Amino acid sequence: MRLMAHRLFGRLPRRGKGFIGDQRGTTALEFAILAIPFFVIIGAILETALVFLASQILDSAVQDASRLVLTGQAQNANYSLGDFRTAICDHLYGLFGDCSGLEIRVNTVTDFASATTSSPLDSKGHFILVQQFQPGTGSDIVMVQVYYKWPVILNFGGFDLATSSDGTHLMGAVRVFENEPFTS
């Protein structure tokens, strides 16, 4: 028994020294340790950039479509909320799909001070914004609100871009302006 133990344990120091001094595979091991955090950071950077790009495109599209209301082009009897949605969607470059997820409200306000906004979502993340299209007449003060729930792809245990409980990021664009003094 002693002989067997000596043979078994007597070789360990030599094998241990060889294993500790062996440098082969260290690069692969270091890459494996650092690859996951590296790719997580790259993914987070890409998703953040995409969200900011989409927010800027939405803001620009709302600005362009609001000019139709500002100049009186949207005040004819045949122009509707659907037409305004299409005017916004035409400037979104396909980033928002078919644009059915856009929540739009165009209404008149009494003065610029009364043009306030509140969250368009309830506590469960559902839209409570009443969609309407009331572009007003010449010299009316109009508030245009457009919101969209952007789906967030990456979720790192609460460290993500989601602003709603359903895992989406709320994007919004609001414009308040006084219509040009056109006649209907």
Q: Which residues contact 142 (CB under 8 A, 6 or more apart)?
A: 66, 69, 70, 106, 107, 108, 109, 135, 136, 176, 177, 178, 179
The answer to whether 176 touches 115, Cβ cutoff 8 Å, is yes
Spatial distance between the Cα atoms of 125 and 140, rounded to a whole number of angstroms: 32
pTM over 0.85: no
Which amino acid is located at 20 in the chain?
I
Residue 91: what are its φ and ψ, rounded to 5°? -105, 10
Q: What pLDDT is recorded for position 5?
A: 52
Q: What pLDDT is recorded for position 173?
A: 97
Q: What pLDDT is recorded for position 20?
A: 67
Residue 8, pLDDT above cutoff 70: no
Q: Which residues contact 134 (CB under 8 A, 6 or more apart)?
A: 106, 107, 108
Spatial distance between the Cα atoms of 2 and 182, rounded to a whole number of angstroms: 107
Q: What pLDDT is recorded for position 161?
A: 84
Mean pLDDT of the chain: 87
Residue 181, pLDDT above cutoff 60: yes
Residue 109: what are its φ and ψ, rounded to 5°? -125, 160
Spatial distance between the Cα atoms of 76 and 88, rounded to a whole number of angstroms: 18
pLDDT (tens digit per residue) in 80-133 = 999 999 999 999 999 998 899 999 999 999 999 999 999 999 888 889 999 999
Give the pairing of strands 168-178 and 132-133: unpaired
Tokens of 168: 């989406």
pLDDT (tens digit per residue) in 43-76 = 889 999 999 999 999 999 999 999 999 999 999 8
Residue 159, pLDDT above cutoff 80: no
Between 10-14, 29-33, 125-129, the lowest mean confidence (pLDDT) is in 10-14
